[in-house]
């Protein structure tokens, strides 16, 4: 029996307004709310609502044999709650069917896994609560853009997950099959399910490409391809962006009709069934250990981190952002909105737009970017970071801190009346001791550092 595992990634970022260094920013007004609302409403109308109905129909038509899985980023969940709640309701309906698994990820679809593992864990806990409240307790995990390495997998296991999704990159697997479960090196319990990238991309990217030799692709042809997967296949991981259906490839391409017929055609072969990631991991054993010593993702031809950290501009944004974390956490005790905005800036899309790739990779980056060119994206995000850092420092510097003097031997008491002011043995500054007129002392700023 071979398991067909459909996994759909659902994500929309909070896009930034096109900012310039001379712009006067007020009240953390970084975000292009009209554009974000427009995109959320459009994608919900073209993709989320019709496709969710199609999948519910597929579950009914197959008497519950069709199954699939989703991961909704925290950013898209908040957008749907605010602007298209009826679309979010259709995802809840899928969860209530009992045939659809919802995975956990980072709340901001961020690069925290390679920026700061403490932040990675914090965002996962935020997202775990969100997913639990809406869809049920998640036991499987997918990281942003399927980014993984040994350390990330180990952290995911420590956080209590049993199953994780990854990319079946050739350079990672060499001669091995992506269609069997693996155990990441250093893990004891976590099982890894990999993406069959060629079969996944036939739907996600090539389906509407008229230059593709297999265009047009029909559901019966694709079902035959699945039925012909060679041994030792135990499952076929079909992982893709959900916006593939109706948004990236519109309904006129026939892609929704393709998905309407595919489940029944796959099930015509009794050796095939649909399963969720959690089911595969509970029913099958890892065949061997997999050493992921270099990060792997599902992005671009390289399938590494170059989509987000491939040039000096991207690296500068990434380093600057995560170096601020300790100060932001300290400042958030009095101004929590600073942390909220900082976390939105960790969304991976902001550095994705700064990529300077070529050929087909560049076309994909340009398609998603709201900016005319990568340098405009860089100026915008650095302007927002500069402003946020200035507000964080202002918050820290205006916060009153009591300075504790170093120990000194007691001096003989003077018979003169005590003054209301005294000399600080540390700062050398006059410190007011009267509670009616406190003198604010400067805070020692938390040292910028980046935790690996």
Q: Where are the alpha helices (DSSP H) in 346-373?
A: 349-352, 359-368
pLDDT of residue 28: 87
Q: Residue 258 in contact with residue 51, Cβ under 8 Å? A: no
DSSP state of 251: G
User: Do the Cβ atoms of 1 and 272 come closer than 8 Å?
Assistant: yes
**Annotated catalytic residue within 145, 167, 247, 344:** 145
Q: What is the model's pLDDT at position 449? A: 37
Residue (of 325, 326, 379, 328) closest to 350 by Cα position: 379
> Using CA atoms, how far apart are residues 363 and 91, in angstroms rounded to an integer?
31
User: How far does Cα 226 stand from its chain's mean position?
Assistant: 29
In angstroms, what is the C-alpha Rg of the chain?
A: 26
Q: What is the pLDDT of residue 418?
A: 44
Helix axes 85-96, 117-135, angle to 10 degrees: 80
145 belongs to the catalytic site: yes
- pLDDT score recorded for residue 20: 85
> Roughly how many angstroms between the first and final C-alpha of the chain, as a whole number?
42
**Bridge pairing between strands 235-241 and 2-10:** parallel
Q: Is 273 helix (H, G, I), strand (E, B) or coil?
A: strand
Per-residue model confidence (pLDDT) at position 117? 97
| Residue 56: how many other CB atoms lie within 10 Å | 18
What is the SS3 assignment for 432?
A: strand
Provide the residue-wise pLDDT of the chain in tens; the chain has 452 residues.
999 999 999 999 999 999 888 777 777 899 999 999 999 999 999 999 999 999 999 999 999 999 999 999 999 999 999 999 999 999 999 999 999 999 999 999 999 999 999 999 999 999 999 999 999 999 999 999 999 999 999 999 999 999 999 999 999 999 999 999 999 999 999 999 999 999 999 999 999 999 999 999 999 999 999 999 999 999 999 999 999 999 999 999 999 999 999 999 999 999 999 999 999 999 999 999 999 999 999 998 899 999 999 999 999 999 999 999 999 999 999 999 999 999 999 999 999 999 997 656 667 777 778 999 999 999 999 999 999 999 999 999 986 443 344 444 444 444 444 444 434 333 333 333 333 444 334 444 333 433 33
Residue from 190, 126, 184 nearest 157 by CA: 190
**123 close to 106: Cβ distance less than 8 angstroms:** yes
CB atoms within 10 A of CB 301: 11
Both structure tokens of 397: 């510097």
> Tokens representing 74?
């925290």
CB 118 within 8 A of CB 99: no
In the prediction, which pLDDT does 399 show?
63
pTM for this entry: 0.86
Token pair for residue 134?
């809406």
Is residue 249 a contact partner of residue 205, using CB atoms and an 8 Å limit? no
Bridge partners (DSSP) listed for residue 42: none
Helices H / strands E in the chain, number of each: 19, 12
> CA torsion 404→405→407→412, rounded to 10°?
-120
Per the structure block, which two tokens stand in for 255? 């892609």
């Amino acid at each position: 029996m071979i398991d067909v595992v459909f996994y759909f990634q659902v994500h929309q970022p909070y896009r930034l307004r096109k900012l310039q260094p001379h712009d006067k920013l007020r009240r953390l007004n970084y975000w292009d709310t009209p554009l974000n609302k427009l995109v959320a409403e459009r994608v919900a109308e073209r993709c989320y609502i019709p496709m969710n109905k199609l999948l519910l129909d597929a579950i009914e038509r197959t008497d519950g044999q069709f199954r699939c899985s989703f991961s909704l980023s925290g950013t898209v969940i908040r957008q749907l709650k605010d602007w298209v709640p009826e679309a979010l309701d259709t995802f809840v309906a899928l969860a209530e069917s009992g045939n659809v698994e919802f995975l956990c990820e980072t709340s901001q679809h961020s690069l925290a896994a390679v920026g700061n593992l403490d932040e990675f864990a914090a965002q996962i806990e935020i997202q775990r609560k969100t997913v639990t409240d809406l869809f049920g307790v998640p036991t499987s995990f997918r990281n942003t853009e399927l980014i993984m390495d040994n350390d990330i997998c180990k952290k995911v296991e420590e956080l209590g997950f049993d199953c994780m999704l990854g990319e079946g990159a050739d350079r990672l697997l060499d001669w091995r099959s992506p269609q069997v479960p693996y155990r990441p090196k250093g893990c004891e319990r976590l099982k890894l399910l990999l993406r069959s990238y060629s079969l996944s991309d036939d739907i996600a990217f090539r389906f509407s490409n008229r230059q593709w030799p297999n265009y047009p692709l029909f559901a019966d042809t694709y079902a035959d391809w699945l039925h012909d997967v060679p041994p030792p296949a135990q499952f076929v991981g079909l992982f893709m962006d959900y916006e593939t259906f109706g948004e990236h490839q519109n309904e006129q391409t026939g892609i929704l009709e393709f998905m309407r017929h595919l489940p029944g055609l796959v099930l015509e072969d009794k050796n095939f069934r649909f399963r969720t990631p959690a089911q595969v991991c509970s029913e099958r054993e890892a065949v061997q250990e997999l050493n992921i010593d270099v990060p792997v993702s599902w992005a671009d031809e390289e399938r590494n981190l170059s989509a987000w950290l491939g040039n000096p501009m991207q690296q500068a944004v990434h380093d600057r952002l995560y170096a601020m974390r300790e100060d932001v956490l300290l400042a958030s005790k009095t101004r929590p909105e600073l942390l909220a905005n900082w976390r939105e800036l960790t969304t991976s899309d902001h550095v994705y737009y700064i990529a300077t790739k070529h050929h087909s990779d560049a076309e994909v980056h340009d398609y998603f970017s709201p900016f005319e060119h990568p340098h405009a994206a860089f100026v915008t995000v650095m302007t927002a970071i500069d402003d946020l850092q200035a507000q964080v420092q202002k918050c820290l510097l205006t916060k009153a801190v009591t300075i504790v003097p170093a120990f000194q031997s007691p001096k003989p008491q003077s018979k003169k009346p005590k003054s209301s002011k005294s000399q600080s043995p540390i700062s050398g500054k006059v410190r007011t001791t009267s509670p009616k007129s406190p003198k604010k002392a400067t805070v020692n700023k938390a040292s910028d550092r980046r935790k690996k």
